[in-house]
């Protein structure tokens, strides 16, 4: 008898035991883990093996942009599986070609080519390889408040503390401070000051490291896990100008921020800036099948017209994954998902969070756009001291007990539901957060 023959209740009952006996979890000490057994999901909701249901305000890892079990996505997987499950990357395939065309059409400027990967970290790895191959240089700059993945180059470029145990990593990985007015490294008091001073600092780092030695500057267009930090107007344009001045490749990491999350196909479109490379994953197909990639400018693609690109993956452009990307982009168009995400952020989430900030002493700042928001929690508004980890555990538990599955990072609640969430569900989830914040007050 296979596991598929076992009745659902018995199968689910064994899921926890088998997990604890055999599954090694990421970013975790294994002993204390008590993972919830998720039995199913639909739209903006998930439920466990005991019938408990939650509004998914995390989109899992901020990737289920279309919500759970979208019927057209499921049908696309089934249809492609019936026709062709896999083929080597060296072949041409209709789904791979169509996915690349659809992505390139939505990317800014002349980012006309797409290299497919299995996820975001591999996208970063290959973007760095493309930049180094194009420039012949070895150094890469990235921000301290950043996360780019956990493979060798990606974790080396990651600025947060999760990189520490993997060091020393990739040679030539250099860090700088990006803009973050609420906790400004530059003693700025306005968005304009923060932008100008952050750019001056970045220029100093570029000059100090040798502008002719730097292959790329990689930055999350909107910083994700490390705070949902929306760059001030003028900052990304300034980075673009700096890259042009020194012949540096500008890489926009849109793994989390892209495909509707910020109310745009790509978040960088919000500022009208065209990078040289864009890394994507997550929202391109809502994680239904692993997929990521790099959108490549024509200038960089031409570097490898007669020269071999020394990179590749067995599953690059996997037909099942690309079929879901094609389906996803068509759903985005047909259902107005990008426009809906923009509206929900501007008319529902943003106003509600700003109202909470005015009423709750534990809220230091709220920020975001689209369906990509953060509530920064503090123990004291004057000193801006962050609340501690124990408090955040209490916050997460209080949300879950009230029917909300939160995304908690550092001293923040990230409000990141599916881009398709209804106004009513968004309001219901926000009301739960409001109630939990009142407990902290």
User: Domain of 53: which CATH number?
Assistant: 3.90.1150.10
Residue 330 lies in a domain: yes
> In terms of domains, do 267 and 179 share one?
yes
Q: Which pLDDT score is estimated for 8?
A: 65
| Residue that finishes a domain, picked among 287, 312, 334 | 334
Q: State what percent of residues in the chain have pLDDT above 70.
A: 98
> What's the structural domain count of the chain?
2
Residue 15 lies in a domain: no
> In terms of domains, do 319 and 434 share one?
no
Mean pLDDT of 88-104: 98
Q: Is the pLDDT of residue 2 over 90?
A: no
User: Where do runs of H (alpha helix) occur along 180-318?
Assistant: 191-209, 235-246, 298-303
Q: Which pLDDT score is estimated for 371?
A: 98
| Host H or E run for residue 218 | strand 214-220
Q: Is the pLDDT of residue 419 over 70?
A: yes
> In terms of domains, do 289 and 355 share one?
no
Among 275, 280, 248, smallest CA distance to 141 is for 248
Q: Is the pLDDT of residue 1 over 60?
A: no
Task: For residue 313, give every residue at least 6 positions away whose Cβ sits within 8 Å of its Cβ, in sequence order, or none.
Answer: 89, 116, 117, 118, 122
Question: How does pLDDT run across 153-188, given as a tens digit for each residue?
Answer: 999 999 999 999 999 999 999 999 999 999 999 999
Residue 278 lies in a domain: yes
Q: How far apart are CA 336 and CA 329, in angstroms?
A: 10
Question: How does pLDDT run across 36-89, given as a tens digit for each residue?
Answer: 999 999 999 999 988 999 999 999 999 999 999 999 999 999 999 999 999 999
| Residue that finishes a domain, picked among 334, 366, 381 | 334
Residue 199 lies in a domain: yes
> In terms of domains, do 283 and 373 share one?
no
Question: How does pLDDT run across 23-36, given as a tens digit for each residue?
Answer: 999 999 999 999 99
- Does residue 411 contact residue 392 with C-beta atoms inside 8 Å? yes
Among 207, 230, 204, 208, smallest CA distance to 219 is for 230
What is the domain-level CATH number for residue 274? 3.40.640.10
Q: How many CA atoms lie within 13 A of 24 on its CB side?
A: 0
Q: How far apart are CA 103 and CA 106, in angstroms?
A: 5
Question: How does pLDDT run across 300-357, given as a tens digit for each residue?
Answer: 999 999 999 999 999 999 999 999 999 999 999 999 999 999 999 999 999 999 999 9
> In terms of domains, do 83 and 215 share one?
yes
Measured in degrees and rounded to the nearest 5, phi and psi for residue 296 equal: -120, 130
| Residue that finishes a domain, picked among 334, 351, 384 | 334
> In terms of domains, do 56 and 107 share one?
no
> In terms of domains, do 205 and 307 share one?
yes
> In terms of domains, do 141 and 180 share one?
yes
Residue 358 lies in a domain: yes
pTM for the model: 0.96
Mean pLDDT value across the chain: 96
> In terms of domains, do 65 and 86 share one?
no
| Host H or E run for residue 220 | strand 214-220
Strands (E), 256-396: 277-280, 292-297, 363-369, 372-380, 385-386
> In terms of domains, do 155 and 301 share one?
yes
Residue 351 lies in a domain: yes
Q: Which pLDDT score is estimated for 3?
A: 44
Band of pLDDT at residue 4, cut at 50, 70 and 90:
very low
Q: Which pLDDT score is estimated for 441?
A: 86
Q: State what percent of residues in the chain have pLDDT above 90.
A: 95
How distant, in Å, are the alpha carbons of 65, 95, 132, 290 from that of 100?
19, 8, 23, 16
CA 77 to chain centre: 23
The tokens of 255 are what?
């793994």
Band of pLDDT at residue 262, cut at 50, 70 and 90:
very high
Measured in degrees and rounded to the nearest 5, phi and psi for residue 160 equal: -75, 175
- Say whether 173 sits in a helix, a strand or coil: strand
| 241-248: Cβ within 8 A, 24+ apart | 242/199, 242/202, 242/203, 242/206, 242/217, 243/217, 243/276, 245/211, 246/206, 246/211, 246/212, 246/214, 247/135, 247/211, 247/212, 248/135, 248/206, 248/211, 248/214, 248/215, 248/216, 248/217
Q: Which pLDDT score is estimated for 12?
A: 74
Length of the chain: 441
> In terms of domains, do 326 and 433 share one?
no
Enclosing domain of residue 275:
72-334
Band of pLDDT at residue 275, cut at 50, 70 and 90:
very high
Residue 26 lies in a domain: no
Task: For residue 333, give every residue at least 6 positions away whose Cβ sits within 8 Å of its Cβ, in sequence order, or none.
Answer: none
- Does residue 283 contact residue 258 with C-beta atoms inside 8 Å? yes
Residue 23 lies in a domain: no
Mean pLDDT of 225-236: 98
> In terms of domains, do 46 and 79 share one?
no
């Amino acid at each position: 008898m296979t596991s598929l023959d076992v009745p659902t209740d018995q199968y689910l009952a064994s899921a926890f035991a088998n997990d604890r006996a055999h599954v090694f979890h990421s970013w975790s000490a294994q002993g204390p883990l008590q993972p919830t057994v998720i039995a199913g999901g639909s739209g903006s909701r998930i439920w466990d093996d005991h019938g408990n249901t939650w509004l998914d305000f995390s989109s899992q890892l901020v990737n289920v942009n279309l919500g759970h079990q979208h019927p057209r996505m499921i049908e696309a997987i089934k249809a492609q599986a019936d026709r062709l499950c896999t083929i080597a990357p060296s072949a041409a395939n209709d789904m791979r070609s169509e996915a690349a065309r659809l992505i390139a059409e939505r990317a800014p400027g002349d980012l006309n080519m797409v290299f497919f990967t299995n996820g975001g970290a591999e996208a970063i790895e290959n973007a760095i390889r493309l930049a180094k191959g194009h420039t012949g240089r070895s150094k890469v700059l990235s921000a301290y408040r950043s996360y780019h993945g956990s493979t060798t180059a990606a974790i080396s470029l990651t600025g947060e503390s999760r990189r520490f145990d993997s060091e020393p990593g990739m040679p030539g990985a250099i860090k700088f401070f990006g803009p973050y007015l609420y906790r400004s490294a530059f003693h700025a008091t306005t968005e304009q000051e923060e932008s100008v001073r952050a750019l001056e600092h970045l220029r100093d780092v570029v000059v100090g490291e040798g502008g002719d030695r730097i292959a790329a500057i990689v930055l999350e267009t909107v910083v994700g896990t490390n705070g949902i930090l929306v760059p001030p107007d003028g900052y990304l344009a300034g980075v673009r100008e700096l890259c042009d001045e020194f012949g540096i490749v500008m890489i926009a990491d849109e793994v989390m921020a892209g495909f509707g999350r910020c109310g745009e196909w790509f978040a960088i479109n919000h500022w009208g800036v065209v990078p040289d490379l864009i890394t994507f994953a997550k929202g391109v197909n809502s994680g239904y099948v692993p997929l990521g990639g790099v959108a490549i400018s024509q200038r960089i693609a031409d570097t490898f017209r007669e020269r071999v690109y020394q990179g590749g993956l067995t599953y690059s452009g996997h037909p099942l994954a690309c079929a879901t990307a094609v389906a996803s982009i068509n759903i985005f168009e047909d259902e107005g998902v990008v426009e809906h995400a923009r509206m929900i952020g501007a008319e529902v989430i943003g106003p509600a969070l700003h109202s909470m900030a005015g009423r709750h002493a534990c809220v230091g700042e709220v920020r975001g756009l689209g369906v990509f928001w953060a509530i920064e929690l503090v123990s004291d508004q004057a000193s801006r001291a962050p609340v501690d980890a124990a408090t955040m555990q209490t916050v997460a538990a209080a949300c879950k007990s009230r029917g909300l599955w939160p995304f908690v990072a550092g001293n923040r609640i990230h409000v990141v539901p599916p881009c398709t969430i209804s106004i009513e569900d968004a309001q219901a989830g926000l009301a739960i957060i409001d109630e939990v914040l009142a407990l902290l007050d």
